[in-house]
Amino acid sequence: MKTIALLLAFALSSTAAEIRIGLVGCDTSHATAFTQILNDPAAKNHVAGAKVVAAVKASSPDIESSFNRVEGYIKELQEKWGVKIYDSIEAMCADVDAVLIESVDGRPHLAQARPVIAAKKPLFIDKPLAGSLADAREIARLAKESGVPVWTGSAYRWYGSMRTMMATDIGEIRGAISYGPAHLEQSHPDFYWYGVHPTEALYTALGKGCESVTRTKTADTDVVVGLWSGGRTGTLVGLRTKSLPNKVTIFGSKGFAEQKSGDHDYAPLVAEIVKFIQTGKAPVEMEETLEMFAFMSAADESAKRGGAPVKLSEVK
């Protein structure tokens, strides 16, 4: 009860004053893109109510896209946006209201989340939630046990084109197809690295309830077919060619609807993050997120078994 009261008090006070946000990890373009959306009132997609004021530098020495970019992003955060760089997460947490973990590498997310949760700060963790299913489940356990709001989400879920499609009346949704980029990173389970985005788009359409998956894997393409409760089906097509579109089609009892192309605005996600911090309520249940990561892990296991069906209940 005490934790809930503290969070409610924070929510009330944060709506009256600008929320001070701290970043953990500055090795992804999201760190600077989200900061611009929040900190620049002149930006066409500006989201009011919060400002990035602090950051902890973090990068991964074994991921080239991480260590090659972090210095440039740190420089922009400091020189363009006046962000203060801290030596530790603990020190930063003392001076901020909420934290966004932006490290592109999911493996350190559990270790990075621990001090934030201990400091009782609302926490958004950028994709992927973690570098393993076990770590994802541990983050969820810590958050629940401590009563700290923790959420993770992909911008794909909040694109205007996605919301428009999902608002279309096609009756009861019986199936969906999601396709998009699914580049691989050897340090992560296959879909965790980039395929997590079209996977979340598939879950945006179908929600929880996947029971088993089968996967066909080639050098350039993955096809994962999931069987949901009630006979619903979901198909994920992961692409690794130069052309990287992303789109969802949903099929219902009264018709179908298709997502429009060309929507890549982060602002709707950032707006949801601010609302999440203000209210302490995540827009997507952690149970759905954990099932989504189990879906991706089961897809890896299916590939190891030559495309045999794998139940989500089997993966650890």
> What are 121-153's pLDDT values in tens digits?
999 999 999 999 999 999 999 999 999 999 999
Please give the pLDDT value at position 64. Answer: 86
The answer to whether 227 and 176 are in contact (CB under 8 A) is no
Domain boundaries, the chain: 2-152, 156-263+293-314
14 pLDDT tier (thresholds 50, 70, 90):
very low
**How does pLDDT run across 25-83, given as a tens digit for each residue?**
999 999 999 999 999 999 999 999 999 999 999 888 888 888 888 999 999 999 999 99
Q: Stretch 216-220: mean pLDDT, rounded?
A: 95
Say how far apart CA 165 and CA 167 lie, in whole Å. Answer: 5
Please give the pLDDT value at position 17. Answer: 80
SS (H, E, C) 221-287: EEEEEEEEHHHCEEEEEEECCCCCCCEEEEEECCCEEECCCCCCCCHHHHHHHHHHHHHCCCCCCHH
Architecture of 156-263+293-314 per CATH?
2-Layer Sandwich (3.30)
Mutual orientation of helices 286-304 and 133-146 as an angle, nearest 10°? 170
Cis peptide before 128 (omega within 30 of 0): yes
SS (H, E, C) 34-77: HHHHHHCCCCCCCCCCEEEEEEECCCCCCCHHHHCCHHHHHHHH
Say which DSSP state 182 is in. Answer: -
| Amino acid at position 162, single letter | M
Name every residue whose Cβ is closer than 8 Å to that of residue 241 and which is 6 or more positions away in sequence.
220, 221
1 pLDDT tier (thresholds 50, 70, 90):
very low
Please determine whether the domains at 2-152 and 156-263+293-314 fall in the same fold group of CATH.
no
Classify 43 in phi/psi space as left (phi over 0), alpha (psi -120 to 50) or beta: beta
**How does pLDDT run across 197-207, given as a tens digit for each residue?**
999 999 999 99
Q: Of 212, 248, 249, 214, which is closest to residue 227 (Cα–Cα)?
A: 212
Does residue 262 or residue 96 have the better pLDDT? 96
Please give the pLDDT value at position 136. Answer: 98
Q: Tell me the pLDDT of the chain averaged across its residues.
A: 93
Please give the pLDDT value at position 15. Answer: 47
pLDDT at 8 over 80: no
Say how far apart CA 250 and CA 252 lie, in whole Å. Answer: 7
pTM (two decimals)? 0.92
The answer to whether 118 and 142 are in contact (CB under 8 A) is no
E strand or H helix at 99, and its extent? strand 98-101
Please give the pLDDT value at position 16. Answer: 52
Please give the pLDDT value at position 12. Answer: 45
- Which CATH code is given to the segment(s) 2-152? 3.40.50.720
Please give the pLDDT value at position 5. Answer: 46
7 pLDDT tier (thresholds 50, 70, 90):
low
Q: Stretch 170-175: mean pLDDT, rounded?
A: 98
In what side-by-side order are the strands of the sheet with 221-228? Answer: 256-258, 247-252, 173-181, 233-239, 221-228, 210-217, 310-311
Name every residue whose Cβ is closer than 8 Å to that of residue 268 and which is 6 or more positions away in sequence.
155, 158, 159, 160, 163
Q: Of 173, 185, 134, which is closest to residue 297 (Cα–Cα)?
A: 134
Q: What percent of the chain has pLDDT over 90?
A: 87
Say how far apart CA 166 and CA 273 lie, in whole Å. Answer: 20
pLDDT at 248 over 90: yes
The answer to whether 311 and 211 are in contact (CB under 8 A) is yes
**How does pLDDT run across 294-304, given as a tens digit for each residue?**
999 999 999 99
